[in-house]
Amino acid sequence: MKMLCVPQSPPLQGEVRINTSKNSMLPILAACLLTKDEVILHDVPCLTDVRWMGRLLQALGVRITRQERTWVIGCTALRTTNAPPDLVQRLRASFLVTGPLLARCGKVTIPFPGGCSIGSRPVDMHLKGLCVLGARSRDRGFALEMESPQLRGDTVYLDYPSVGATENILMAAVLAKGNTCIVNAAREPEIEDLARFLCAMGAHIEGAGSGVITIEGVKELHGCAYTAISDRIEAGTFLYAAAVTGGDIALRNACAAHMRPVTAKLRESGVDVWQDGDLIRLRSTAPCAAVQVKTMPYPGFPTDMQPLALTLATVSRGVSVITETVFENRFLLAGELKRMGALIQVQDRCAVVQGARALWGARVSATDLRAGAALVVAGLAAAGETQVLGIEHITRGYENLPYKLNALGADIKIIDTHIDHNNTAQSRGR
Ligand code: EPZ
């Protein structure tokens, strides 16, 4: 088992390059199923979730050749439309192959994706939208069978601007017969990025990024070469790490426009955030001020940044109130922060944080991807050493997080822990 040993850090200083977005790359990889032609994806991030999506595509018969960070993807002939359960269970986003397989092959068999620690995460809106386009679904208990001889364009009203449901329906609609309109669509930048990718393949899409997306179905799509947008959540994570340590950092390859909800909230906390050419700069001198945060679908404050905001609140001056409106169980991090001395009261979807606490190092466990990153950031502020277990969660969405933070002044080590025959923990650093 591996863990991160995170000693208290001096203020983070320096420049860090932000990767392309995990939450763009995953639907874009699924969308490659929509064409027989070769697709070239540049600057693909080295993340566990991305690798699992690649393995799922290969299990379906897709040929993937990697040349460093470029993936050459060929979907000339698919081997099967049955998504393997062991791969689907590993990666919730694997459900995004449903729309493309229906559009390309007219059928798909896929297990229901598991929920996770942050919520049950059903896919009812995905299914409802795909059925509006003519798909028929049969619940086989162990898996879902869907088929659609020919998808037909129609108007889909989403009860909630679900990111995944918008993506699945969008990818199904591009090859449907006739026009589709998705109303109350998600507006995240990753939706716009997927639409841009689909248009580069010859799709006809208008309105992505607004709440209403219209698609004119086409007969087929062709290959293309593409680079996804930068990862606004990774970028936000580094900004919060700098705010927590009182640092002065610059982000390269970040998109200021996509980060406005996050940078606005950080400015409200009292830090300086500004664009300096193609860099985003943050300087934090005094302890931050407590703020109220409410997570909302884009362009609201992103739920994926909520764990980082919770962590900053523990060391800010005053009482912060953080409300999580997107997922029903996204405050598991609070229990781990309390082990580090944080004063947090959680009631339903609301956390009240008594700030200005000196955190102390403890052995804590990551419960999900963003909570894991937040625990590392909390360790940078805490006196002593914090040991973060469950780092396999972190590598799902952050490439080389410890190394990137160390390049800014942290001193994080990855330790292999193993228990010898005396059952005492031994570890060796590297
Ligand atoms: C995407 O998940 C992201 N994942 C999540 O990022 C992100 O937190 C989330 O959008 C919200 O922004 C990827 O893009 C791979 P939703 P998704 O469908 O699509 C409910 C990370 O850390 N819902 O917008 O699953 C759902 O339960 C991850 O990178 C239904 O009830 O999110 C949730 O409460 C975590 N029925 C809410 O809607 C449905 O059919 C938002 O879910 C679909 C969703």
What are the extents of the domains in the chain?
Answer: 2-18+230-428, 22-227
Is residue 227 classed as helix, strand or coil in its secondary structure?
strand
So what's the architecture of 2-18+230-428 in CATH? Answer: Alpha-beta prism (3.65)
- Whether omega before 299 lies within 30 degrees of 0, making that bond cis, reads yes
- Confidence tier at 384 by pLDDT (50, 70, 90): very high
Over residues 307-329, the pLDDT tens digits come to: 999 999 999 999 999 999 999 99
Our answer on whether the CB atom of 26 is closer than 6 Å to any ligand 1 atom is yes
Is residue 40 classed as helix, strand or coil in its secondary structure?
strand
- Confidence tier at 427 by pLDDT (50, 70, 90): very low
Helices 163-173 and 189-200 sit at what angle, rounded to 10 degrees?
10
Over residues 48-73, the pLDDT tens digits come to: 999 999 999 999 999 999 999 999 99
Which amino acid does the sequence have at 381? A
Cα(164) to centroid of ligand 1, in Å? 6
Cα(427) to centroid of ligand 1, in Å? 37
Residues 405-417 have a mean pLDDT of 95
Identify the pLDDT of residue 115.
67
Identify the pLDDT of residue 232.
98
Residues 32-42 have a mean pLDDT of 98
- Confidence tier at 430 by pLDDT (50, 70, 90): very low
- Do the beta carbons of residue 46 and residue 282 sit within 8 Å? no
DSSP conformational letter for 246: T
- d(CA 319, CA 334) in angstroms, rounded, equals 15
Over residues 173-218, the pLDDT tens digits come to: 999 999 999 999 999 999 999 999 999 999 999 999 999 999 999 9
Residues 283-297 have a mean pLDDT of 95
Mean pLDDT rounded to a whole number for the chain = 95
- d(CA 117, CA 120) in angstroms, rounded, equals 8
Backbone angles phi, psi at 361, to 5 degrees: -65, 145
Over residues 124-169, the pLDDT tens digits come to: 999 999 999 999 999 888 899 999 989 999 999 999 999 999 999 9
Residue 356 pLDDT more than 90? no
Our answer on whether the CB atom of 397 is closer than 6 Å to any ligand 1 atom is yes
- d(CA 263, CA 154) in angstroms, rounded, equals 38
The CATH number of 22-227 is: 3.65.10.10
- Confidence tier at 5 by pLDDT (50, 70, 90): very high
Instruction: Report DSSP letters for 322-388, one per residue.
Output: EE--S-TT--HHHHHHHTTT-EEEEETTEEEEE-----B--EEE--SHHHHHHHHHHHHHSBSEEEE
Over residues 70-84, the pLDDT tens digits come to: 999 998 889 999 999
Query: Exposure of 329 by Cβ count < 10 A (0-12 exposed, 13-18 middle, 19+ buried)?
Result: middle
Residue 423 pLDDT more than 60? no
Percent of the chain at pLDDT exceeding 90: 89
- Confidence tier at 286 by pLDDT (50, 70, 90): confident
- Confidence tier at 417 by pLDDT (50, 70, 90): confident
Residue 119 pLDDT more than 90? no
Our answer on whether the CB atom of 93 is closer than 6 Å to any ligand 1 atom is yes
Cα(163) to centroid of ligand 1, in Å? 6
DSSP conformational letter for 20: B
Residues 383-399 have a mean pLDDT of 97
- Confidence tier at 425 by pLDDT (50, 70, 90): very low
Active site (catalytic) residues:
116
Cα(329) to centroid of ligand 1, in Å? 13
Residue nearest to atom 31 of ligand 1 (CA): 122
Our answer on whether the CB atom of 151 is closer than 6 Å to any ligand 1 atom is no
Identify the pLDDT of residue 106.
97
Our answer on whether the CB atom of 189 is closer than 6 Å to any ligand 1 atom is no
Percent of the chain at pLDDT exceeding 70: 97
